[in-house]
């Protein structure tokens, strides 16, 4: 795999939706999905680091904001680009998470074609040399 993406999202349907969209984009994209911030840190400790992390904001237990703060506070993870992937379209959420260190904010679309477009734009902008 040329690009490895980790999605942290408590909704299984959203993880499946995200994976299907990635498969539409390229077979050179590796994907792992975990359902919580706690699971994300277990994944990160036991696997090669991903090229980027997509992170839901609204999760039980460790919220997306808490997870983002922890990722950015740990030297071994702070360089991994984090993209907020949320149902929120609130400008305050975007501003706050970007100030916390997120590199982008994508509001979850309802159609696969829209998600493919969003992900293609992000990947081509950040990883064009890898695909």
pLDDT, tens only, 71-95 = 999 999 999 999 999 999 999 999 9
Q: Can you read off the two tokens belonging to residue 70?
A: 């922890």
| Least confident span in 47-51, 80-84, 109-113 | 109-113
Average pLDDT over residues 37-56: 97
Q: What is the pTM of this model?
A: 0.93
**pLDDT higher than 60, residue 4:** yes
Instruction: Determine the Cα–Cα distance for residues 123 and 131; give it in Å rounded to an integer.
Output: 9
Cα→Cα distances 105→43, 45, 88, Å: 23, 25, 9
Domains recognised in the chain with CATH numbers: 3-127 (3.40.50.2300)
Residue 10: per-residue pLDDT = 97
CB 36, CB 59: distance < 8 Å: yes
Residue 2: per-residue pLDDT = 87
Q: Is 10 helix (H, G, I), strand (E, B) or coil?
A: coil
Name which of 20, 23, 11 is nearest 85 in CA terms.
11
């Amino acid at each position: 795999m040329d690009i490895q993406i980790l999605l942290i999202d408590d909704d299984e349907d959203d993880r499946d939706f995200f994976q299907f969209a990635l498969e539409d984009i390229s077979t050179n994209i590796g994907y792992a999905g975990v359902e919580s911030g706690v699971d994300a840190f277990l994944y990160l400790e036991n696997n090669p680091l991903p090229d980027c992390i997509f992170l839901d904001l609204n999760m039980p237990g460790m919220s997306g904001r808490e997870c983002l703060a922890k990722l950015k506070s740990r030297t071994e993870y702070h360089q991994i680009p984090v993209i907020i992937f949320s149902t929120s379209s609130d400008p305050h959420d975007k501003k706050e998470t970007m100030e916390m260190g997120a590199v982008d904010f994508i509001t979850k679309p309802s159609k696969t074609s829209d998600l493919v477009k969003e992900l293609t734009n992000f990947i081509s902008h950040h990883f064009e040399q890898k695909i």
